Amino acid sequence: MDDDERALLAEFVASRAPVLIRVAYLLTGDRSSAEDLFQSALAKTIPRWRSIRHSDPEGYLRAVMYREQVSWWRRLRRRRDVSIGTDASVVADPSAGTDLRLALQAALWQLPPAQRAVVVLRYYEDLPEAEVAELLGCSVGTVRSRTHRAVTRLRQLLPNTELLELQR
């Protein structure tokens, strides 16, 4: 890799890293794991930089992150439980929607990892079902059923929430 390509790569990473780490955080649920996921995906992307830099390097890096996270989940073969206190009272925040965002985030961590990934890809990343299926290495039908189960569970966890009118 020559100096010009290194400069382009450094500029790309500096400008897009915050967004990509945020996506990784949504997939992993942990800041440090998100950074590890981003770095791992970046390490796999750098050798291909010369061929992808002119097309869609961010899309390529996102796809590597999704696949890497799915591989980590498959290796673990168990669901990581995240303790979320239900007895703590929610204090109203002057920022509009903060309570809803926090409640939705807490509900997302209660979903199994595969369902959480589908929700993140479908609704946060706004990807079509076919692309989600390709990224996760499953069929479109599997994406639909996971999405249905995830949204149903989110509706149970967050009743009376207008946000969850996603599939109706």
Domains by residue range for the chain, with CATH: 1-78 (no CATH), 96-168 (1.10.10.10)
Cβ atoms of 127 and 38 within 8 Å: the answer is no
Question: What pLDDT does 124 receive?
Answer: 85
Q: pLDDT by residue (tens digit) across 74-103?
A: 776 555 545 555 555 555 545 656 777 788
For the chain, the residue count is 168
Mean pLDDT value across residues 19-32: 89
Per-residue pLDDT band for 165 (boundaries 50, 70, 90) equals low
Question: What pLDDT does 89 receive?
Answer: 53
Return the number of other C-beta atoms located less than 10 Å from residue 131's C-beta: 16
Burial of 58-67, coded b for 16+ CB within 10 Å and e otherwise, reads eebbbbbbbb
What is this structure's pTM? Answer: 0.54
Place of tokens 């009376």: 160
